[in-house]
Amino acid sequence: MSEIVLSGIRATGKLHFGNLMGAVQHFVRFQGRGDTCLFFVADLHTLTTLQDPDDMRRNLREIVKDYLAAGLDPQQSILYAQSSVPEIPELSLLLSMLQPLGDLLRIPTFKEKVRGQDESATLGLVTYPVLMAADILGPKATLVPVGEDQVPNVELARRLAHIFNARFGETFVIPSMMDEMVKVPGLDGAKMGKSDGNAIDINAPISEISTLYKKRGVTDPKKVRAGDPGNPYRTVDIAKGVDEGCRSVYAVHELITPGEKEGREIADECRAGTIGCADCKERLVGSIAAILGPFQEKRAALANQDDYVIDVLHEGGKRARVLIAPTVEAVREKMGVIIY
Which residues are at the interface with ligand ADP (CB under 6 A)? 9-10, 12, 18-19, 22-23, 146-147, 149-150, 182-184, 191-194
Choose from ligand ADP, ligand TRP, none: what does 334 bind? Cβ within 5-8 Å by kind.
none
Identify what 184 binds: ligand TRP, ligand ADP, none; CB under 5 to 8 Å per kind.
ligand ADP
Which position's Cβ is nearest ligand ADP? 22
- Told to check if 321 binds ligand TRP by CB under 6 A, we report no
H or E element, residue 264? none
| Cβ nearer to ligand ADP, comparing 164 with 198 | 198
Enter the DSSP assignment of 201: B
Instruction: Please give the Cα distance from 193 to 107 (Å, whole number).
Output: 18
Q: Which is nearer to ligand TRP, 191 or 298 (CB)?
A: 191
Least separation, in Å, of the C-beta of 193 and ligand ADP? 4
Instruction: Count other Cβ atoms within 10 Å, centred on residue 185.
Output: 23
Strand partners, 8: 40
Instruction: Give the integer Cα–Cα distance in Å for 270 and 288.
Output: 19
Beta bridge partners, 6, equal 38
Asked if 91 and 137 touch (Cβ cutoff 8 Å), the reply is yes
- Cβ 146 to ligand ADP shortest distance, Å: 4
Residues 107-146 as x/- pattern, contact with ligand TRP by CB under 6 A? -------------------------x--xx-------x-x
232 neighbors 245 (Cβ within 8 angstroms): yes
Q: Which residues pair with 80 in a beta bridge?
A: 40
Min dist CB 64 to ligand ADP, Å, is 14
319 binds, among ligand ADP, ligand TRP, none (CB under 5 to 8 A by kind): none
Rounded CA separation 5/24 (Å): 12
Q: Do β-strands 77-81 and 242-244 pair in parallel, antiparallel, or remain unpaired?
A: unpaired
Backbone angles phi, psi at 185, to 5 degrees: -75, 145
Q: Which of 302, 244, 288, 237 has the alpha carbon at shortest distance from 18?
A: 288
Task: Choose the one of ligand ADP, ligand TRP, none that binds residue 159, judging by a C-beta under 5 to 8 angstroms depending on kind.
Answer: none
For ligand TRP, the binding residues in 143-162 under the rule CB under 6 A are: 144, 146, 150, 153
Question: Which residues have C-beta within 8 Å of that of residue 249, sequence separation ≥ 6?
Answer: 213, 217, 218, 219, 277, 280, 281, 284
Distance of CA 189 to the CA centre of its chain: 18
The residue from 7, 99, 198, 231 that contacts ligand TRP (CB under 6 A) is 7
* Residues in a beta bridge with 305: none
Residues ≥6 apart with Cβ < 8 Å to 186? 18, 192, 193, 196, 198, 199, 200, 248
Answer for which of 4, 5, 9, 28 binds ligand TRP (CB under 6 A) is 9
Cβ proximity to ligand ADP, 184 vs 331, nearer residue: 184
How far is CA 202 from its chain centroid? Answer: 14
Per-residue binding string, ligand TRP, 236-275, x by CB under 6 A, is: ----------------------------------------
In whole angstroms, how close is the CB of 184 to ligand ADP at the nearest point?
4
Judged by CB, which is closer to ligand ADP: 147, or 316?
147
Whose Cβ is closer to ligand TRP: residue 49's or residue 165's?
Answer: 49
Instruction: Name the minimum Å distance from CB 38 to ligand TRP.
Output: 9
Which residues ranging from 42 to 71 are in contact with ligand TRP (CB under 6 A)? Answer: 42, 45
Residues near ligand TRP, by CB under 6 A: 6-10, 42, 45, 132, 135-136, 144, 146, 150, 153
